[in-house]
Structure 1
């Protein structure tokens, strides 16, 4: 029940259910000191759920108090998780807006307001650097007045990542993802890959938008603080100007290499209207072909199947074959053809992209630390020389090699007959060669080399051919240095200098819209969504406003209607 009126001379209670007629009314007679019940419908027997969204005492302040300990430990606690927690703890339902307000209130307690978060960012990064040696960070600010600077961009990399990254392959994937908080912006991420094929984030940055200037600044910071003198291969999307930007920072003259994500190029074919799955898969096979002969053969097949796709390749990327085709890579990308692992990291950071800037930095710190702890435990449990996922790649090759015929020409030179082709193989440790280029491009023995290792003339352990990057010891060493907790805000050092203000906030008219142009590379939650249905033609996929049959109804024109 609920109180409808509560006055000095009247008091009324009614049922919270709209279809219930129960009512109690009392009034105070003139000159009396007591109330007299004038209307009462008898016993109230309505069964009302314990939890309901009309509980007036369940305020955002109360919810904030309940979720604050969890929010301190998990900054990415979503609104949905908050609603479920309150349902379990308080046995009541709350609205989405109420949970959102409580979440923002808790974030404000932990890291201050959005505006305060920008001024606290240098303090938090300084404290994190003091707690975790070798951690680096740098900011780039816009000076507006002598005592005031506006935030522009920030770069940070954790000390354990920088120190242990030398145990990972010299391949770095760079990608960007949009931030959806009050001031929006873009997060740039550099990711490597460990010995077991897992994500290994090495650097982060926040900037106002994804453009050439910000990318160049990010890559320069990455080279200065993380990769340093190490010769690396950068894998990125193929967007306008990125080839020149990467070349200026990671010059080929210094031994660096730049490659493109093959899957993004495949998505570019869709943009020009090529949606045939067979054609798109054929293009992907062209890019992943190990041999130049196979590359040319598949390319000729594509020409006969889709001339438009073949022309686009010839006009746009044929001269840059080493950027996207594995056959011309020279072994720099170690068989990594896409930036999918960088995008997977974006999914790992899901739920943190709408946090204040300091909270987002803290979220990356705790997420990466969690991954380090879990993978360090996994490394101690590994008992094989090679990492499990690497062995999963080699086992099918071993099975295939059992059906091959091997002809010996010298103690170290063989010819392998697969039944359809012949492959000359030279066995010389890690300097071995096979015509298929599988070993030269990835550092893992191909099925032809494994066939030679199994012959009675050349009994050899295939582990001696595998590159160091794939061994369990390298995996353990990549997670050997521990993170250390960052003290509470009370202990953060004071930063001398101008106050850091947030960037300019532009108020947009109308309903807020997503700033990201979605394509085939974006991950969407399809489960639980409903398709659009037109009220005019009853077909799915559009609304009445965009109906292609507008003006017609099932074959009858508007003018023919009676």
Structure 2
């Protein structure tokens, strides 16, 4: 006899009428333990393990006796190379734990098996969302810490330990330098407070946008931008006349326009990012139709066509063209 029901990771709710059956098979001991644990958690019953070794697994209700005789014995069958239910007495007759309270068997390891697929698909999924999924599936509201620990178990099982990955980083960076001549790496370490990614792109003559430098830093703060832009200027773009297109984030603007900056004329020239202009346009004028006209004007490839779009904007709302004309001509 094989199992006609199973406990799946994050799958549909199993029917509580399902019971273990003598002769029911499981592929391994891990599946046995998961099935017994899930069965009791879903029914708000606590149990104790009577015997557990390489070939046997037995459990019974923590109130085993006249009030409840729930028990199960599962052993490994060498003939079929599977674990088989040999003795079963159920269902349980007691309901010790109230639904909604935490269950002692619903630990982080158990939760990690349930949320594995969700975390693998969406690694940045929030603890709150995972907590809600656990509550919907098991009927218990577990603590944030327990769910956070469960997520860390999943992350480690997929991506390995953080320290291992960190220790491998220099080797991967060295490989980049070996196989991509001209690659320059600067590794600076400090206590972790969070993270942000900085990426610099280059647009070639065929309008292809290519990443040329990136950094993982603690956040979009003055020190981080200073570190990134300084090394970018020194090792990636030392030539004069570079055109920089960026938004007006205070940290970026402060570093680009510092008194000793090599990102100011005549060393380099600055332009506003189109997305920055359009976002501010919507904030000021809230007109989606004219936003499209502005985008078309910004992306024109010849000066000859520009007066047409600029004149159209002036005709629709003269305040728009005044707003554009007030922008620094160098940007």
Q: What do residues 491-540 of structure 1 show as CA deviations (whole Å, max 9, x unaligned)?
A: xxxxxxxxxxxxxxxxxxxxxxxxxxxxxxxxxxxxxxxxxxxxxxxxxx
C-alpha distance in 1 between matches for 2:169 and 2:235:
15
Question: Per the alignment, in what secondary structure is the counterpart of residue 281 of structure 1?
Answer: helix
Unaligned runs of 5+ in 1: 15-21, 26-53, 142-149, 152-182, 324-562
Distance 1:287 1:130, change over 3 A: closer
Among 192, 199, 207, which residue is 2:217 paired with?
Answer: 207
Give the equivalent residue in structure 1 for 2:279: 267
Give the equivalent residue in structure 2 for 1:294: 305
Q: Post-superposition shift, 1:258?
A: 2.9
Q: Higher RCO, 1 or 2 (CA under 8 Å, sep at least 6)?
A: 1
Q: What pairs with 1:55-134 in structure 2 (closer than 5 Å)?
A: 59-62=107-110, 64=112, 77=123, 79=125, 93=137, 100-107=148-155, 110-112=160-162, 121=166, 123-133=167-177, 134=183
Distance 1:194 1:289, change over 3 A: closer
C-alpha distance in 2 between matches for 1:68 and 1:263:
37
Q: What do residues 370-394 of structure 1 show as CA deviations (whole Å, max 9, x unaligned)?
A: xxxxxxxxxxxxxxxxxxxxxxxxx
Distance 1:262 1:12, change over 3 A: same
Q: What pairs with 1:182-331 in structure 2 (closer than 5 Å)?
A: 183-192=193-202, 200-229=210-239, 232-240=242-250, 242=252, 245-246=255-256, 248-254=261-267, 256-272=268-284, 274-317=285-328, 319-320=329-330, 323=331
Q: TM-score if structure 2 supplies the norm length?
A: 0.51
C-alpha distance in 2 between matches for 1:284 and 1:216:
31
Q: What pairs with 1:394-409 in structure 2 (closer than 5 Å)?
A: none
Q: Post-superposition shift, 1:265?
A: 0.4
Question: Per the alignment, in what secondary structure is the counterpart of residue 172 of structure 2?
Answer: helix
Q: What do residues 98-154 of structure 1 show as CA deviations (whole Å, max 9, x unaligned)?
A: 765422124357334xxx69xx85x4432333443345123164xxxxxxxx45xxx
Q: Post-superposition shift, 1:311?
A: 2.1
C-alpha distance in 2 between matches for 1:9 and 1:243:
75
* Paired residue total: 228
C-alpha distance in 1 between matches for 2:185 and 2:242:
20
CA contact (8 A) 2:225 2:251 kept: no
C-alpha distance in 2 between matches for 1:127 and 1:69:
30
Distance 1:184 1:102, change over 3 A: same
Question: Per the alignment, in what secondary structure is the counterpart of residue 293 of structure 2?
Answer: helix
Q: TM-score if structure 1 supplies the norm length?
A: 0.33
CA RMSD of aligned residues (A): 4.8
